[in-house]
Amino acid sequence: MSPASITIDPALCKKCGLCIYFCPQKVLTGTPGELPQVKDLDKCAGCRACFDRCPDFAIEVEVERS
What is the predicted pLDDT for the residue at 46? 92
d(CA 60, CA 48): 9
In this structure, whether the domain defined by 4-63 belongs to CATH 3.30.70.20 is answered with yes
d(CA 50, CA 29): 12
What is the predicted pLDDT for the residue at 65? 74
What is the predicted pLDDT for the residue at 2? 64
Tell me the pLDDT tens digit for each residue of 4-60: 899 999 999 999 999 999 999 999 999 989 999 999 999 999 999 999 999 999 999
Q: What is the DSSP string of the chain?
A: --SEEEEE-TTT-----HHHHH-TT--EE--TTS--EE--GGG-----HHHHH-TT--EEEEE---
What is the predicted pLDDT for the residue at 66? 64
